[in-house]
Amino acid sequence: MAITGVMRTGHAQLRVLDMEVSRKFYRDVIGLVETGEDAQGRVYFKAWDERDHNSIVLRQADSAGVDFVGYRVLDNATLDQLERALKERGIGTRRIPKGEMLETGERVRFNLPTGHEFELYAEKNHVGNGLGLLNPPPWGKDAEHGMAPVRLDHCLLYGPNIAANKTIFTEVLGFRLVERVLGPVEAGEPEVAIFLSCSNKTHDIAFVEHPHPGKLHHVSFRMSSWERVQRAADIMGMNRVPIDMGPTRHGVTRGETIYAWDPSGNRFETFAGGYEPYPDWETITWTFEGFGHGLDYPTGTLHESFLGVVS
């Protein structure tokens, strides 16, 4: 499909409790490439195969969680058009100046009904993946450092009123609903989880209904294969990284996965597989009764910590 509006997951700024411990973890255990530190003390990273300067930004704070997530749009004309469309829906926006984040252009930020700060941007400097653009090899030295994900893939966010989020993402930002999870029949079966895509991925962002606003469930790092997810599991074991769930396969998205915790208590995912939906495909629905296998297909288990613990 032609990706013309919102193109992809761009970045997430995470709150961490100890910068030096977190810096070492994201660099040496997850295997991201450190790309800079700004005057505020924030530390920047990218996955080895990403070309943009950064995708993960760490900020030291008193509590874990996510400050904001950002998605890259096609160009500045698209950025202006989407800002106008948001304002026409009564959604207030504000411009974050170029350079407030290292190597990143002006950003349009707004608040989601779930209590999250979300932003769009059109410019971020390309620093490349170290392979060059002429007759490149398939991978370089950074591809074998730590777990070595290839990119930041998506975020799952928890908060109230995901139905209003769905309206914004599908009617204004051009995402489509790929999968959904319904609540119990006795509650009238409202959607309790939605998986939204702006590409041909199973999801570029997802939301789960939750009473408390602005919560992070996880950031997800894309691995190139199930074998690389299993290798990540070994690295987690070698470094005594606490695992929340996996290795296993989801029924939802068919993704192959492990969920684990960073040193501050932010959950992250190593993710591979999944199918490639086209825009004309119908939405897949999971019932509340069937969601055990949607979460952990082999066992059908509703893992309590996975469903309830957020940062």
Where in the sequence numbering do the catalytic residues fall? Answer: 154, 203, 218, 250, 259, 269
> Cβ(175)–Cβ(198) under 8 Å?
yes
- Residue 296 tokens read as 């952990």
Nearest to 145 by CA among 298, 54, 24: 24
Radius of gyration over alpha carbons of the chain, in Å?
19
Order of strands, edge to edge, in the sheet holding 43-46? 33-37, 43-46, 56-60, 6-16, 65-73, 117-121, 107-111, 94-96
Return the amino acid letter for 204.
D
Beta bridge partners of 52: 126
Order of strands, edge to edge, in the sheet holding 191-197? 243-249, 255-261, 267-273, 215-222, 151-159, 205-209, 191-197, 176-182, 284-286
Q: Which residue has the tokens 């969680």?
A: 65
Rounded CA separation 206/105 (Å) = 25
DSSP letter for each residue of 14-63: EEES-HHHHHHIIIIIS-PEEEEE-TT--EEEE-TT--BS-SEEEEE-SS
> Cβ(103)–Cβ(54) under 8 Å?
yes
- Residue 247 tokens read as 């290795």
Q: Which residue has the tokens 């059109």?
A: 122
